[in-house]
Amino acid sequence: MNHKINKQVKFQDLGVIDYLPAWDLQEQLLKENIDLKIANRSLAPEEQSITQNHFLFVEHPHVYTLGKSGHEENMLANQDKLNEIHATYVKTNRGGDITYHGYGQIVGYPILDLENFYTDIHKYMRDLEEVIIRTISDYGLKGERSKGETGVWLDVGKPYARKICAMGVKASRWVTIHGFALNVNTDLRYFDFIIPCGIKDKQVASLKNELEHEVDMEEVKLKIKKHFQEIFGVEWT
């Protein structure tokens, strides 16, 4: 593979930002990398430019997003209800079904050129899950994978299994966008208006609900960054 490896990742915490501008930014960073990769094809290896990796933290105002393979019937609220609860609804190009983003939730968007790491989307998803599993383990919670259901769960296989972190990504020419959403101090009532990820009879969880107290969001972000660095072997810039 004629490709200069770059494991540096530019980190930005964008704070509270609407969903669409954050998506636009991801698409822009994706396009920059794809344009670079196309240009590199006609260059000798020593003349090629390195692609750039990014990692964004955001917190979105109330929004429901539907993945490209999702089912609209999993959205249970009509426009009047959305107006009442101050939420918006967006159809996206990520994988997965419907989910909710809102205050008190840490959303992570890694825009990685996987050719800098490994070209395996399945492994990428499992590694993202591992980042969150290790993060919530720092708070005494046992995160698990649920067969055929992406994300991080608690009490898998039990009647009260519940999802604490949703995930959905898209990759173009091995460059990823979208990512994960970890419920920290999230108001879980907002999940009542959807069938989360299209999975009926499954509950959602948050760190706050499990630990029975508010959790420091900045502390959680630092833990996510630490475990992401360990698992992906990145250098933050």
For the record, the structure tokens of 36 come out as 């670079």
Alpha-helical regions (H) of 140-236: 207-211, 217-232
Candidates 175, 173, 135; CA nearest to 152 is 135
Q: Which of 133, 161, 167, 197 is catalytic?
A: 197
Helix (H, G, I), strand (E, B) or coil at 67: coil
For the record, the structure tokens of 193 come out as 């208006």
Candidates 147, 178, 150, 148; CA nearest to 164 is 150
State the Cα–Cα distance between residues 154 and 122, nearest whole angstrom. Answer: 21
Residues paired with 99 in a beta bridge: 65
C-alpha distances (whole Å) from 158 to each of 153, 155, 161 are 11, 6, 5
For the record, the structure tokens of 44 come out as 């000798």
For the record, the structure tokens of 3 come out as 């490709």
Based on the residue annotation, tell me whether 197 is a catalytic residue of this protein.
Answer: yes
State the Cα–Cα distance between residues 142 and 94, nearest whole angstrom. Answer: 27
Q: Which residues are catalytic?
A: 197
